[in-house]
């Protein structure tokens, strides 16, 4: 059986993937888009069609509402959209005629050959381990936002919101609009930082609209909240089989505790680079963003790779508006590389420049919380294998060389999440114990499949291109 | 942990079963949020030490929401939309080996 073949395969139906799909298909290319969700929009515009249909758009603000138009443009395109598709890996070409994407849909693995690949798998919330973060009752603020968008679910009270970052402000405003005001807000950002970022603030003036939006969220955040604790350095979730209390300690030594039914945490977002890391392409550590991202050229093409482009937050966090530009750029560049005569639509680069102007200020204002920088010994850093920070520190002190050898010592990163939840933490602990910088300790090595796959699913590949020994 | 703002009615209501109990879910939501809305706070026990867990990220990253859905174990419940008549089982601390032990015919 010959594998299906297309001009362009796109992974991810968020702002970048949809923009790439619209650009490439309008240039006349045959495009397939694979996404693991049931509906287009990615995480920022999660379930936006259904939310618009039920009249709830106002809860989520104008950035969310912008998704209605983007999703409609995507739906109207000629793109072959395949929701509920789980990517398990890619096979890279030896020549430049493209490569293969392997995915699972309807419990069957399948293979697509594509001349060009655009990876737009977005970002996810930086895992911030603290004692008790595995207790039922604790989840990320982003998870609760998804539950609100898809299931019309609200946090139960007493409700504690803890964390830092611009998205925390947005989430707080959205929960508030939906009728769930935090009883206690624990701010893990450093209140002294804002006095040290004058230079970045001047550079960000060109992104005035975003600044104004941030200030609006900032005001909304504190109004109506039962109690706001500033300068929090450590948090702890307490409970037997589920969350009952939240404890905190501030940087100046203050302590507190409150009853809680729900604790939502947020510590910024990091690129979802699981696939490009498994592809072993070059990744760079961005110290300002405290995150690893694949190295790309100005067109979004993966460094040292002829057929693959990276778009949107997958290549470094810039937000949805910039993602629509880098996505469209990648789609247009892929089209132009395949057909010199491709009619590439004009792309508004101003949004990208504004996002780039704003980012240094946001990175400076919102570094990862101190709770992430000073990881508590009792925190389960590897949730899958139930391994504590203390065990990782002991193994490192015994001579484990780094994240890869720690797998052999402890199995850290070897459970079903494949290091998504612990890779940054393990690298941070190695850097701490070995006295190295974060940039010097590479994240643990990944291998495909990048998500678990059953033998029954793989059996559907029906491969006939294997080199079998002749009789 | 989370509560539904209003109960699904009419076409929006999808009837499934979770851990043997009938649950009315909302069309378009995932099995994971349907379980949370039904008041199921502990959705599995971790396989290594048996400690209670619940969905954490709801976007396919953390693998905390693993459930047995229509007979298939270890599915990410946050990535599976609810469908009428779906049968969902929660996973305990030890994955069942009954199928495997039947297969190898351990008579000893």
CB A270 within 8 A of CB A81: no
- For the ranges A204-218, A265-279, A415-429, A441-455, the lowest mean pLDDT is seen at A204-218
Q: Do A262 and B1 touch (CB under 8 A)?
A: yes
- What is residue A346's predicted lDDT score, i.e. its pLDDT? 72
Q: Is the pLDDT of residue A32 over 60?
A: yes
Q: Do B33 and A147 touch (CB under 8 A)?
A: yes
- Taking the C-alpha atoms of A318, A319, A321 and A326 in order, what is their torsion angle to the nearest 10 degrees? 50
Instruction: Please list, in sequence order, all residues whose beta carbon lies within 8 angstroms of the beta carbon of residue A342, skipping any fewer than 6 positions away.
Output: A27, A28, A29, A332, A335, A336
Residues facing residue A109 across a β-bridge: A104
Phi, psi torsion values for A290, nearest 5 degrees: 50, 50
Q: Do B74 and A137 touch (CB under 8 A)?
A: no
Tens digits of residue pLDDT in A370-417: 877 889 999 999 999 999 999 999 999 999 999 999 999 999 999 999
Q: Do B59 and A420 touch (CB under 8 A)?
A: no
Tens digits of residue pLDDT in A102-126: 999 999 999 999 999 999 999 999 9
pTM: 0.93
Chain A residues near residue B41 by CB distance under 8 angstroms: 136-137, 242
Band (B106; pLDDT cuts 50, 70, 90):
very low
Residue B29 to residue A405: CA distance in whole angstroms: 40
Ramachandran class of B10: left when φ > 0, alpha when ψ lies in -120 to 50, beta otherwise: left
Q: Do B63 and A152 touch (CB under 8 A)?
A: no
- What is residue A341's predicted lDDT score, i.e. its pLDDT? 74
| Cα–Cα separations (whole angstroms), residue A254 to A235, A248, A375 | 12, 8, 19
Residue contacts between A and B (CB atoms, under 8 Å): 138
Cis peptide before A449 (omega within 30 of 0): yes
By Cβ distance, the residue of B54, B78, B79 closest to A136 is: B54
Chain A residues near residue B93 by CB distance under 8 angstroms: none
Q: Do B41 and A140 touch (CB under 8 A)?
A: no
Band (A173; pLDDT cuts 50, 70, 90):
confident
Q: How far apart are the first and last CA of chain B?
A: 47
By Cβ distance, the residue of A36, A50, A139 closest to B60 is: A36
Residue B41 to residue A301: CA distance in whole angstroms: 44
- What is residue A449's predicted lDDT score, i.e. its pLDDT? 95
CB A378 within 8 A of CB A388: yes
Chain B residues near residue A452 by CB distance under 8 angstroms: 74
- What is residue B105's predicted lDDT score, i.e. its pLDDT? 37
CB A29 within 8 A of CB A339: yes
> Got the DSSP string for A317-354?
---HHHHHHHHHHHHHHHHHHH-TT--PPP--THHHHH
Residue A468 to residue B6: CA distance in whole angstroms: 59
ipTM > 0.90 (yes/no): yes
| Distance, C-alpha A168 to centroid of its chain | 15
| One-letter-per-residue 3-state SS of A204-252 | HHHHHHHHHHHHHHHHHHHCCCCEEECCEEEEEEECCCCCCEEEEEECC
Q: Is B36 on the interface with A (CB under 8 A)?
A: yes
- What is residue A355's predicted lDDT score, i.e. its pLDDT? 86
- What is residue A425's predicted lDDT score, i.e. its pLDDT? 97
Q: Is the pLDDT of residue A272 over 50?
A: yes
Q: Is the pLDDT of residue B102 over 60?
A: no
- For the ranges A453-457, B38-42, B94-98, the lowest mean pLDDT is seen at B94-98
Tens digits of residue pLDDT in A187-242: 998 877 765 665 566 566 666 666 677 666 666 666 667 899 999 999 999 999 99
Q: Is A150 on the interface with B (CB under 8 A)?
A: yes
Band (A469; pLDDT cuts 50, 70, 90):
low
| Cα–Cα separations (whole angstroms), residue A264 to A331, A462, B104 | 36, 45, 46
SS3 B106: coil
């Amino acid at each position: 059986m010959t594998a299906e073949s297309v001009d362009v395969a796109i992974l991810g139906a968020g702002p970048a993937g949809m923009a790439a799909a619209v650009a490439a298909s309008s240039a006349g290319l045959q495009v397939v888009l694979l996404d693991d969700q049931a509906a287009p929009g990615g995480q920022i515009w999660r379930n936006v069609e259904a939310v618009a249909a039920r009249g709830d758009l106002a809860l989520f603000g104008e950035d969310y509402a912008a998704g209605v138009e983007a999703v409609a443009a995507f739906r109207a395109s000629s793109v072959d959209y395949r929701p509920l598709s789980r990517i398990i890996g890619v096979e890279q070409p030896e020549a430049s005629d493209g490569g293969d994407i392997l995915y699972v849909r309807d419990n069957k693995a399948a293979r697509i050959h594509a001349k060009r690949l655009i990876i737009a798998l977005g970002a996810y919330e930086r895992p911030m381990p603290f004692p008790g973060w595995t207790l039922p009752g604790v989840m990320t603020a982003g998870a609760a936002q998804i539950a609100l968008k898809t299931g019309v679910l609200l946090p139960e009270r007493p409700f504690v919101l803890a964390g830092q970052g611009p998205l925390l402000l947005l989430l707080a405003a959205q929960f508030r609009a939906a009728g769930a005001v935090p009883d206690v807000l624990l701010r893990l950002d450093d209140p002294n930082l804002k006095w040290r970022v004058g230079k970045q603030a001047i550079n960000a003036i060109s992104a005035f609209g975003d600044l104004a939006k941030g200030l609006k969220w900032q005001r909304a955040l504190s109004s109506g909240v039962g109690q706001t604790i500033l300068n929090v350095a450590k948090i702890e979730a307490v409970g037997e089989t589920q969350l009952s209390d939240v404890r905190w300690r501030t940087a100046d030594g203050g302590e507190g505790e409150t009853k809680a039914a729900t604790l939502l945490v947020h510590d910024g977002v990091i690129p979802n680079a699981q696939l490009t890391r498994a592809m072993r392409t070059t990744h760079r550590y961005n110290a300002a963003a405290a995150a690893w991202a694949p190295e790309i050229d100005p067109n979004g093409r993966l460094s040292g790779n002829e057929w693959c482009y990276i778009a949107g937050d997958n290549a470094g966090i810039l937000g949805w508006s910039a993602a629509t530009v880098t996505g469209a750029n990648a789609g247009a560049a892929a089209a132009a590389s395949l057909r010199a005569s491709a009619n590439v639509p004009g792309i508004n680069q101003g949004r990208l420049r504004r996002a780039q102007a704003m980012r240094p200020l946001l990175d400076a204002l919102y570094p990862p919380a101190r709770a992430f920088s000073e990881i508590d010994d009792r925190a389960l850093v590897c949730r899958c294998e139930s391994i504590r920070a203390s065990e990782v520190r002991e193994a490192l002190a015994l001579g484990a060389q780094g994240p890869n050898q720690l797998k052999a010592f402890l199995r850290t990163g070897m459970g079903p999440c494949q290091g998504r939840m612990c890779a940054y933490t393990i690298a941070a602990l190695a850097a701490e114990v070995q006295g190295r910088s974060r940039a010097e300790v590479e994240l643990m090595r990944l291998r495909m499949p990048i998500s678990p796959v059953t033998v029954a699913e793989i059996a559907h590949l029906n491969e006939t291109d294997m080199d079998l020994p002749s009789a | 942990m989370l509560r539904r703002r209003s109960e699904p009615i009419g076409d929006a209501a999808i009837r499934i079963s979770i851990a043997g109990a009938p649950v009315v879910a909302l069309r378009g939501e995932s099995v994971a949020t349907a379980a949370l809305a039904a008041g199921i706070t502990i959705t599995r026990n971790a396989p290594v030490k048996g400690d209670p867990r619940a969905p954490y990220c709801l976007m396919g990253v953390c693998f905390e929401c693993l459930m047995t859905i229509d007979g298939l174990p270890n599915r990410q419940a946050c990535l599976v939309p609810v469908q009428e008549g779906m049968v969902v089982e929660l996973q305990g601390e030890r994955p069942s080996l009954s199928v495997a032990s039947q297969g190898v015919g351990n008579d000893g």
